[in-house]
Structure 1
Amino acid sequence: MNLSLNGPGLWYVTRATGIVTLLMLTFSVFLGVVTRSRRSTRRLPRFVLVGLHRNVSLMVMVFLALHVLTTVIDSYTNISVLDAFVPFLSQYRPVYLGLGALACDALIVVVVTSLLRERIGFRTWKTLHLLSYLCWPVALVHAWGTGTDPGVAWGRWIGYGCVAFIACVVGWRVAIGARPNRADTLAP
């Protein structure tokens, strides 16, 4: 049995894991914005949102690792491990692949510092965690510039949907930003 290191199988897995990573990253950013708003309900307490955000973020990393792994082992594009983590080295679509490497590196920093939050302190963690807000648009540009799916309508609509979803949650966050949380205004 001959196991090929290129071909449509790896290409489909790379595409699928990239799409799932983008969708999950979008959901993780959404959960981060909602969690940061400090809003909660009796049906959905804040600790549930925090746990969901953490777990979705870890799943983002699993799918990102699969995306990078399948990209590196697929010999069709000749992308090395170094290309996947050091921005703008690749001969293959260097700008867009470099943006993907930047987003990947920033996500690694966010996850590692989140795991080390007790040791590095809240202020340092919070400052570094803000990188996650930059990862999403950089990852989206990477997907649109490197991937083949934005060339078809459904691929573009996935991207447009992600943009609309984040625009709505950011708009909501800005709108409620000045208003105090109802629980904060209730007298004891």
Structure 2
Amino acid sequence: MSLLWYATRATGEVTLLFLTIVLTLGVLSALRVGGRRAPRFVLAGLHRNLTLAGLGFLAVHIATTVADSYAPITLTDVVVPFGSAYRPIWLGLGAVAFDMIVVLTATSLLRARIGYRRWKALHWAAYACWMAALVHALGTGSDVRSSLFLLLAGVCAAIALAAVAWRLVAAGPGNAGLRAGTGLLTLLAVLVVGAWTVSGPLAGGWARRSGTPASLLGKAGTTGTTDGTPTPRSTRATPSTDDGDERGDGG
């Protein structure tokens, strides 16, 4: 396996963690949380700096993904969703998340010009952006069956869900119907993603069903593990019609 592949995996997971922290800090800022030990300007600065750090890891994640010749992923696939030859839906959600991050960052820089109301309306998309990034990680990640990855994804999901719930509860007595509807929609989304994760990425045959090109499927040059997931011996393998791929993402 190449260093680029390891870098892609690591930076992708770290980026998801940063997105979760930034989302939570955004909720704290929206609720005007602050005090002597953590003044609001400190939270705002932390939110900004962690956003920039997350963008740095995201840039490395994208660069290593495109540079690694293992999967046919191009720069166009990074920006234009659902057109990739490699897992188009799940990679496409990553492109959607990236496009939304660019828009959210740009509008934050132009906040004074576009106005607070427009900026606030646009930044509701941050929740959808986080969800798209999570599903992208589950659908394309090669560590989905790893206990450490599942722990990371579970912790990030729990933190994000708690932040959303806190914002809905602490928003005040107004718009009770809207807040209740948003809460139910959020809960439904969590249940759908959870059910899909169990029946999709965690189930057998996901590599084939997710849209991995036939040229990358197979167990040639690999050894099987107890759960049927091939373990790589080298960075390349002779294609076959078997499910799974040589990078051990779980066929």
Give the alignment's TM-score, normalised by structure 2. 0.67
Kindly indicate whether residue 79 of structure 2 is the aligned counterpart of residue 85 of structure 1. Answer: yes
Which residue is equivalent to 1:57?
Answer: 51
The number of aligned residues is: 173
Among the aligned pairs, what percent are the same residue?
Answer: 51
- Residue in 2 aligned with 1:22? 16
2:65 to 60, 71, 83: 71
Report the Cα offset of residue 113 of structure 1.
Answer: 0.9
Please give the alpha-carbon distance, in whole angstroms, between the structure 2 residues aligned to 1:30 and 1:39.
11
Q: Distance in 1 between matches of 2:16 and 2:72?
A: 23
Measure, in 2, the Cα distance between the counterparts of 1:128 and 1:52.
Answer: 21
Q: CA deviation at 1:70?
A: 0.6
Residue 131 of structure 1, CA deviation: 1.6
TM-score (norm 1): 0.88
Question: Which structure is larger by alpha-carbon Rg, 1 or 2?
Answer: 2
Q: What SS is found at the alignment partner of 2:73?
A: coil
Report how far residue 105 of structure 1 moved.
0.3
Greater fraction helix: 1
C-alpha distance after superposition, 1:18-43 (max 9, x if no partner): 01100000000000011101121111
Displacement of 1:175 in angstroms is 2.8
Q: Which residue of 2 aligns with 1:143?
A: 137
Q: What amino acid is aligned across from residue 145 of structure 1 in structure 2?
A: G
State the shift of 1:176 in Å: 2.5
Read off the aligned partner of 1:116 and give its amino acid letter. Answer: L
Alignment of 1:148-159 (within 5 A): 148-159=142-153
2:155 and 2:36 map into 1 onto residues whose CA distance is 29
- Between the aligned partners of 2:9 and 2:44, the Cα distance in structure 1 is 29
Give the alignment partner of residue 160 of structure 2, picking from 156, 161, 166.
166
- Provide the residue aligned with 2:31 in structure 1: 37
Matched residues in 2 for 1:49 and 1:66: separation?
26
Q: Deviations over 1:131-187 (max 9, x none)?
A: 2121101100000000011121111111011011112222223332227xxxxxxxx
**Residue-by-residue CA offset, 1:57-102 (whole Å, 9 max, x unaligned):** 1111111111111101111102000011100010100000000000
Shift of 1:52: 0.8
Higher RCO (Cα < 8 Å, 6 or more apart): 1
Runs (5+) with no aligned partner, structure 2:
174-251
Mapped to 1, the partners of 2:9 and 2:51 lie a distance apart of 19
What's the secondary structure of 2:144's corresponding residue?
helix
Matched residue, 2:246: none
* Residue number in structure 1 paired with 2:170: 176
Task: Tell me the distance in 2 between the aligned counterparts of 1:170 and 1:102.
Answer: 21
Distance 1:91 1:112 in 2: 29
Map residues 112-131 of structure 1 onto 2, 5 A cutoff.
112-131=106-125
| 2:34 paired with 1:9 | no
Deviation at 1:129, TM superposition (A): 1.7
The residue type paired with residue 42 of structure 2 is V
Deviation >4 Å, runs of 4+:
none
Query: Equivalents in 2 of 1:80, 1:162: separation in Å?
Result: 28
